[in-house]
Chains A and B, each alone.
Chain A
Amino acid sequence: DAGVIQSPRHEVTEMGQEVTLRCKPISGHDYLFWYRQTMMRGLELLIYFNNNVPIDDSGMPEDRFSAKMPNASFSTLKIQPSEPRDSAVYFCASRPTGTLGEQYFGPGTRLTVT
């Protein structure tokens, strides 16, 4: 398996623009998680899905953030409008049902908002 795939790997955009981050989980994994990593706040869970359904979005910082999972092999995290404080590395992770919690992380998307 290719592992969790994220695109783009790097994104530079101007404040106010819409940003869409993409994730393809490992085939057969029922859970998908979106994280944000910054030096100040570490790894923060933004939202997670189970069988394509959003379960807990309490970590989404503002209404500017939205996430979708239209099918088992694709998820998006959208920021509209983007702000400089959104600059971070965004990770997608997936895991199968029945495990104790091991999550498989993608390589991340480094977002810079100028």
Chain B
Amino acid sequence: EADIYQTPRYLVIGTGKKITLECSQTMGHDKMYWYQQDPGMELHLIHYSYGVNSTEKGDLSSESTVSRIRTEHFPLTLESARPSHTSQYLCASSELLGMQFFGPGTRLTVL
């Protein structure tokens, strides 16, 4: 079944820890995205990718990094988490004309 997955759904960690948020899609989409969203608020694009070995920074400056080694996989890494990183992170993939499919999100809390 075509879908987009994010793990973990919820994560509580201490300051200074390194974390990786996983995102995988089974639809064969070339484009993938990471958004940061505080609850009930607007979406902020932090990273996107046009395909394998392509990564771009989005509109919102972020201390995170991404990689795209395989079409279906687009992980996001925070080398040293801080309380200011507390937020919800949404992964999405899309067809050429921008219609996006979103994962369920990872709710990150940094203590």
Bound pair: A and B? no
Residues of B within 8 A of A (CB): none
